[in-house]
Structure 1
């Protein structure tokens, strides 16, 4: 083959990849609205949840099996509020019943969101992509080479190196001055020190999600049904010993009921990939959970499993707004400082911190419009408080929004809570408590994180992006100079960093738990006490992997798909 011909061939491959990665929606022949589904159907695998884990899992299993993927939301394609970086947060602020984001408020009072769209949280997040640390992989017992292969499989489709501009570069260099060493440059790996991570936004600012991984699927082996809300997993008793999952009941957008069953076969399974809220919720609605709680909701108990819904955690996030005398670029998360004391330092700047250069400023990463309100403590974040914050924000001059946020989030955390049903409607949110900062170790990490942010702000590298007269206490306590995310007023003259952490805590949307390994599922993610049922998603995590979990959740879908197919073929 001549060099010229080879060059043309490579150019064609790159063009095809760029075309597939463009904003043009893929023509997935296997994707349809659930209203077109038959009333009864049969498959080798039924996956409940087309999210960050469900999409790569379905794409993998379809290579050698018939797979049904049921997603309660719609398609992300063609929706600029999902696909465009410049519209980040618009979906999170959409409170309509058809929004790709479903808002929930934990019992702690922190406003949060869960995905309701094909691709899951990868359609809503800030895009940062980074792998789990090697000790995480070792501790959970995963196969290292297969983990790396699975990450690479994901990265071929959805990841990019972000453009580093002045403000993010200043944060990076400030982290290094603050002692968060060494400088690890651009890498997907989780390494102590400061690094530039990957992003799922391409150079044109277009988002690529877990749904894009369905381009790997065998179209003859996969059926994806949108707007398919699963109400219940069906069980029968196998030899009157263990319950056997054999089907699901779901409803389409018109309310019509459908049943999907597993084909006869010893290796066929139902797999729940509905996320940290949806997976324990569906187990309970199907009769697997704490017996007394299920009985209180008139749910027939299939298996008394008191640990379903336990171990719920959300990584607490606190941020400081830093006004800048100079204009700054629009950026989401690009740099991270991975500290030894258990806090991660990240930053966002420009319009994306508050939501636009002119009113209405609705959609930024730290906008009260999307629930990121910390001008009042968690329990006081009512809709009235949100409306007042948005109204105030819209009255400010554009210069008030010039700057960015530097945030810290607690690794882990040690504090945990629980999830319970409110009712038997799978489309409504369960009740969830995260118990932010219940354990003093988490509070200590937050304080150390804030102190590290102070060092960044005071660094020489960051000097041109700060006002010299604004010390950390000034930034913490200002209540009129900055637009949003300002410290609540207290009767005492000064507020401790511990109190600041408690009062201004927000979410970074990394909640997990509820179906943890060793408690609800085994090492192969099979639900303990029943047959033909697994849970594969972030609900199985004991703590969130790495600085941001999406890479590992996508990896896990691919990883377990490969393992399950290997087991199937071996038989």
Structure 2
């Protein structure tokens, strides 16, 4: 039969062949998979059709898809999210982010700008430690990326059948929604995943019981006979060979270590179109390429790394969407909510909110989105957020009455951004964070978007809809000054001094610079990068939906490629 017949069959059946077997039970918690094992049990040498480095937001759907037809190894440097209530429960949102131990599912890093940030170190990646909001990329983004729209929509739906829920929009979130409409962020688009101008309610990966569902749940789709998942497996380098002195480097294996430090090697099967796929995230993927010899030659030589390919654009184009928030103390109690409502403005700023910041005095833990224990500290400019300053802020916060935490935050995040930075190796240890600079607000257009976003927040605070959650004697400007711990601060200075992260950093292996539109690394063979490091700018208001979609989408595309190649032999 012809190539196009098989391609049509693959596309038309994509949502059936790879569907979970038990639709009713797919949203239960506490699952583990028989193909999941600790790397200490792995053989010293093994062979696979595909080796996926990183079991994160893109890696899990990618592995689940490829496992249908091929033998897949997925290497995850962290542990399992299952059975960990600090990951599963919405009420414990901040706990992993405040845990700075080596076993934490969130690995803290501080950019050279001084902003405290976090990267995932757990199966399921950032979907295990984020605020849960689910929304798609715009149609313009899809077209610009060169993706097939039909397959994109099918891939989003494939994800949504397992991990997405409708949030309960209660009093505080409703007030923000109605305040956005009063502020002119129109029209109201209701509950939708679509990225369109106006105000909407998006999806969430927290179910009706407040339990988190993550990209790891997409492994329900996997063929358990076609996948091996190793936890606590840290990849140290990718191996390359050249058939001739003038030929392109070809990836053929990886070196990884288990939790005991024992070295293992996994190789691609010979004589096939097998590939290594890096899905280690916006920090991990460019870092691993450099550790493997792909990057700026002068920088690699500084670290005594043999140069496989002089590629000066690896680690360039790093971006993090700056986020600024205003705290509004409330005279009435507020529900515990993370991101549910979003205002998508026509000038490039997104408005969101969180409320009911939990405070547990018995355990002295703060579990909100904006507490210094998780690094979200806006009382001092970034360069002044020293460990001593953080400790002092935490001590002061723990001395406050619980009523002081009654209220919520309204935040703005700019799209893009236009400002960009770079990533470099700190050393040759893949367990340690690389050096990364984001250059927040370096481009004045980013700063202007922030200023306009804060002005929308002022209108929401002063709106009739939001009045039950604001003290009458507190104006929007006074709340901005209180948030920044200043008096009469300009909005431009507020943006610069209170900038935080919303964990949407991306870049480092961008399409058109490091990888092509099929996510194949330029200049080498049998190697792709599929994750947020390939984005030129962040999709939608929140990227996790698109990262999960991309894993599924590219898995199907790779299966199609191999089917066509096999058919035309």
TM range (shorter): over 0.9
Residues 105-130 of structure 1, C-alpha deviations (whole Å, 9 max, x = no match): 00000000000000000000000000
CA distance in 2, matches of 1:200, 1:459: 30
Q: Are 2:503 and 1:498 equivalent residues in the alignment?
A: no
Q: Quick one: structure 1 residues 464 and 359, their matched pair in 2 at CA, closer, same or farther if it must change by over 3 Å?
A: farther
Structure 2 matches for 1:220-231, cutoff 5 A?
Answer: 220-231=225-236
CA distance in 2, matches of 1:183, 1:415: 31
1:537 corresponding residue in structure 2: 531
Q: Are 2:382 and 1:388 equivalent residues in the alignment?
A: no
Residues 262-293 of structure 1, C-alpha deviations (whole Å, 9 max, x = no match): 00134100000000000000000000000000
Structure 2 matches for 1:115-194, cutoff 5 A?
Answer: 115-194=120-199
Greater mean deviation of Cα atoms: 243-252 or 378-387: 378-387
2:14 corresponding residue in structure 1: none
Partners of 2:49 and 2:272 within 8 A in 1:
no
Q: Quick one: structure 1 residues 18 and 163, their matched pair in 2 at CA, closer, same or farther if it must change by over 3 Å?
A: farther
Greater mean deviation of Cα atoms: 449-458 or 356-365: 356-365
Unaligned runs of 5+ in 2: 1-18
1:515 corresponding residue in structure 2: 509
CA distance in 1, matches of 2:94, 2:270: 45
Q: Are 2:277 and 1:283 equivalent residues in the alignment?
A: no
Partners of 1:197 and 1:335 within 8 A in 2:
yes
Q: Are 2:439 and 1:445 equivalent residues in the alignment?
A: no
CA distance in 2, matches of 1:258, 1:188: 42
1:482 corresponding residue in structure 2: none
Q: Are 2:97 and 1:89 equivalent residues in the alignment?
A: no
Partners of 1:60 and 1:561 within 8 A in 2:
yes
CA RMSD of aligned residues (A): 1.4
Partners of 1:488 and 1:503 within 8 A in 2:
no
Deviation at 1:25, TM superposition (A): 2.0
Partners of 2:20 and 2:221 within 8 A in 1:
no
Q: Are 2:243 and 1:238 equivalent residues in the alignment?
A: yes
1:343 corresponding residue in structure 2: 349
CA distance in 2, matches of 1:497, 1:554: 36
CA distance in 1, matches of 2:480, 2:144: 38
CA distance in 1, matches of 2:122, 2:162: 19
SS in structure 2 at match of 1:570: helix
1:487 corresponding residue in structure 2: 484
Query: Would you say how many aligned residue pairs link Structure 1 and Structure 2?
Result: 546
Residues 228-268 of structure 1, C-alpha deviations (whole Å, 9 max, x = no match): 00000000003331000000000000000000000013410
TM-score between the two structures when normalised by the length of structure 2? 0.94
CA distance in 2, matches of 1:100, 1:515: 24
Q: Pick the aligned partner of 1:470 from 444, 469, 474.
A: 474
TM-score between the two structures when normalised by the length of structure 1? 0.94
2:544 corresponding residue in structure 1: 550
SS in structure 1 at match of 2:426: coil
CA distance in 2, matches of 1:442, 1:412: 8
Residues 115-172 of structure 1, C-alpha deviations (whole Å, 9 max, x = no match): 0000000000000000000000000100000000000000000000000101100000
2:520 corresponding residue in structure 1: 526
Q: Quick one: structure 1 residues 565 and 16, their matched pair in 2 at CA, closer, same or farther if it must change by over 3 Å?
A: closer
Q: Quick one: structure 1 residues 299 and 25, their matched pair in 2 at CA, closer, same or farther if it must change by over 3 Å?
A: same
Deviation at 1:94, TM superposition (A): 0.7
SS in structure 2 at match of 1:379: helix
2:418 corresponding residue in structure 1: 414
CA distance in 1, matches of 2:389, 2:374: 13
1:456 corresponding residue in structure 2: 460
Partners of 1:107 and 1:433 within 8 A in 2:
yes
Deviation at 1:14, TM superposition (A): 12
SS in structure 2 at match of 1:321: strand
Q: Pick the aligned partner of 1:368 from 349, 368, 372.
A: 372
CA distance in 1, matches of 2:388, 2:548: 38
Unaligned runs of 5+ in 1: 1-12, 479-485
Deviation at 1:464, TM superposition (A): 1.0
CA distance in 1, matches of 2:158, 2:364: 40
